[in-house]
Structure formats: C-alpha cells, structure tokens
Amino acid sequence: MFFNLSARLAERRAADLYRQRPLLQSPQGPQVVVDGKPLLAFCNNDYLGLANHPDVIAAWRAGAERWGVGGGASHLVIGHSTPHHELEEALADLTGRPRALLFSTGYMANLGAVTALVGPGDTVLQDRLNHASLLDAGRLSGARFQRYLHNDTHSLATRLEKATGNTLVVTDGVFSMDGDLADLPALAATAKAKGAWLMVDDAHGFGPLGAQGAGIVEHYGLSQDDVPVLIGTLGKGFGTSGAFVAGSEELIEALVQFARPYIYTTSQPPALACATLKSLGLLRHETWRREQLASLIRQFRQGAEQIGLALMDSFTPIQPIMIGSSARALRLSQLLRERGLLVTAIRPPTVPAGSARLRVTLTAAHSQAQVQRLLEGLAECYPLLGPEDA
Ligand SMILES: *Cc1c(COP(=O)(O)O)cnc(C)c1O
C-alpha cells in the first residue's frame, strides 16, 4: 500500500512524539485562554510583551487605512512600498549596518541568505543545535554541508581545514531550545582566520539582549567585519512578523538578485511594516522591558534551583527544564496544565533524542507574582514525576 500515513501516525503516537496544536482563543500574553480554559502561559517568544501592545495595534490599524491590506506583488515588481523601505532603514540603523533587507519569515530569510551565498563546490558549516530552518537551508544550498559540535571552536576549526570554495559558518545567536549564547567572539575569530564568513541567526537575541535590544552582536560589541551576515526575526522580540538580513551594501544587493525566497514571493502587508516600525521604537527605547525581564529571569532561576530542577546554562528568557524522556516531559506539562499553568514540552526531533524538556519562556509582560505561581506549581508537580525509568 502506498502512502501508509496511518502507520506513520501510529508510530509517532506510540513514541510519545505526536504533536498537537493547542487552540489559542485569546490574544498572546501571560494570561491566555486555550482549548476553553484560562491558563497562565510561559511558552511564547513575545519576550518584550509587544505582540498585543496598544500602540503597535494602532500603528497596524493606521497603516491599513493609509496603505491598504495586501502587498499586491513581489518587491521587485511593484510590492516594495514606502513602509517596507522605512522599516529596512530603521533596521539598518538599529543594527549599525549599511543596509537591511526585509523577508516575510525567518525561515525564508535563512533559506534565502544561505542559498544565495553558497552552492555546489562551496562549504557550509553549522552548529549541530542550529534551528531547523538553517539546517534545511544548508541542505538545499547544494554546498558541502557539515555540522560542528555545539559552540566548539576546535570542532569548527577542524572542519574549516578541509573546507573548499566560499565557506559560510552559521550559528544561532541565542540557541532557541537551550537559551545559551553562541561564543561569537571566538567563532568570529576562527572563521576570519580561514577567510570564512560568519552568519548569525539572532531570532531570540533581538529584544532581550544588548543595551538597545540589538541582540547578541550588540551584547558582545562585534562589528560587521566579525559578523558579515546578521539575521533577525520579527515574530519574537519585535512582537509582529517577518524577518530581515542586515549587512553590507553588496550583501544586500546580492540577496535582492539571488535570494529566491526573497524574489519569488509577495511582499508582506505594508501595514505590518508600520506595526513593526512602532514596535522597533518600543524595543529600542523602553529599556525597562529588558530590566523587568532580567529581574524575572533571576527570580525564576533562584526559585528553580531551590526546587532542584535541572536548568541550563542560560541567562536569556529561554529557561528550559531538562527532563530526558518524552513521556516524562509530557507528564510534567500535563500536571502543570491541570493546575492552570501552560508550559510546552519540547521533544525530538526538535531537540536531540533523550533530551526532552519543558521550555519555559519569560517575558516582560509577566509579573513577579506570576513567576511565583509557576515556581509553586513546579515545586508541587516535579516530585510527582517519580524516578526516571518509566
Ligand atoms: C523562530 C526561528 C526562526 C524562524 O523564524 P520565523 O519568522 O518564525 O519563520 C528562525 N531561526 C530561529 C533560530 C528561530 O528561533
């Protein structure tokens, strides 16, 4: 029998890997309604609490009045409108790069950048814990594709020795499922020594990191010479949707010419760019959001250590609780949900086998009291899991 989907689905269920979509029946925020139940949620990536901000909503509304709804065409035909252009200029200014190029999603920005820069005969080297969109981009490029050990410059250097053609080293800035930071200064030096380019996907760094929220590159004070290709996404810390690549004049012009996911798609709605322009201002200037976030992260880590939870080496809003087996991670998530707390279990293949976890994310929209409620829930539920073996 062809397409034996029922067997594949049954197999996934039996392995505790079946995915389901919770139905969100409220706007994004700490207090949500999911599948008919009010819950206190710790799993979105809206780190600064901008996804449902009144000023961002007002900018979207005004943008729709002024510019209509649809982008209408691709950027190269007649879809590149004034709000898109202004947003690109503001993103270039935020990142301190000559130019930025707007993409519809982070997935597309990653596919576009990697496939435009390397191809057959070239080399792409990636951290083994990189986001799926980067790994897919590496495969699609046709370049020789290898992964190096997580954040390990020796492992990278060994692979650089054998690299051929144009060589692109690619890493997450903040690792999306672990919350730790790429060792960018060391990676940049290693890449530069071999004439390779470093590309950083800082989807989770923009907003929380850096004095102005410009992410890991601002955090480490690195230049365009260290990180020639910088990617940011707009659906996380910016609270809206879309993505961008920032870099030199030449890099951006090359992407306009050669990045197929840029060329062959309709531009995002111009009103969305209006909303993002507004959220960019809040992200950059309302520093109290980063301070609030940092204080909640400290509170969570201290409380979690007292309970004896296995935290990871992270000072970012991504604070995973390592569990191990998928069944146990699902069980802890379920126990918390029965107590009104929503924390998603993250399982393979999103994370390596045997490293299922609860991915707690904190946002500036959470309160101290809400983090306290989460800690109380964890203190009650974690011991109920019992010893590992089941
Ligand atoms: C979420 C994410 C993406 C994808 O961005 P979208 O705009 O959601 O498509 C890419 N890279 C990383 C590291 C991410 O976490």
pLDDT tens-place string over residues 363-385 = 999 999 999 999 999 999 999 99
Identify the residue whose C-alpha is closest to ligand 1 atom 8: 106
Distance from C-alpha of 202 to C-alpha of 222, rounded to nearest angstrom: 13
Looking at domain 19-48+287-385, what is its CATH homologous superfamily? Aspartate Aminotransferase, domain 1 (3.90.1150.10)
Q: Give the residue range(s) of CATH 3.90.1150.10 domains in the chain.
A: 19-48+287-385
Which residue, by CA, sits nearest to atom 10 of ligand 1?
106
235 C-alpha to ligand 1 centroid (Å) = 8
Question: What are the tens digits of pLDDT across the range 337-355?
Answer: 999 999 999 999 899 999 9
Does the beta carbon of 106 lie inside 6 Å of ligand 1? yes
pLDDT at 387: 75
Give residue 390's pLDDT band: very low, low, confident or very high (50, 70, 90).
very low
Q: Is 176 in the pocket of ligand 1 (CB under 6 A)?
A: yes
Residue 271 is predicted with a pLDDT of 98
β-pair type (341-342, 345-346): unpaired
- pLDDT band (50, 70, 90) for residue 17: confident
Residues serving a catalytic function are 176, 204, 236
What average pLDDT does the chain have? 96
- Distance between the two ends of the chain, CA-based, in angstroms? 35
- Which part of the chain has CATH 3.40.640.10? 54-285
Query: Of ligand 1's atoms, which has the minimum distance to the CA of residue 107?
Result: 9
Coil, helix or strand for 242?
coil
Pick the CATH number of 54-285 from 1.10.1050.10, 3.40.640.10, 3.40.50.720, 3.40.50.300: 3.40.640.10
At 128-177, the pLDDT tens digits run 999 999 999 999 999 999 999 999 999 999 999 999 999 999 999 999 99
Q: How far apart are CA 73 and CA 367, in angstroms?
A: 43
The count of other CB atoms within 10 Å of the CB of residue 126 is: 24
User: From ligand 1's centre to the CA of 386, what distance in Å?
Assistant: 35
Alpha-carbon dihedral of residues 366, 103, 176, 183, nearest 10 degrees?
-110
Q: Which residue has the tokens 């955090």?
A: 219
Closest atom of ligand 1 to 204 CA is 15
Instruction: Find the mean pLDDT for residues 163-192.
Output: 98
C-alpha distance from residue 142 to each of 48, 145, 146, 205 (Å): 38, 8, 12, 29
pLDDT value for 335? 97
Residues in the chain: 390
The Cβ of residue 312 has, within 10 Å, a number of other Cβ atoms equal to: 16
pTM of the predicted protein model: 0.96
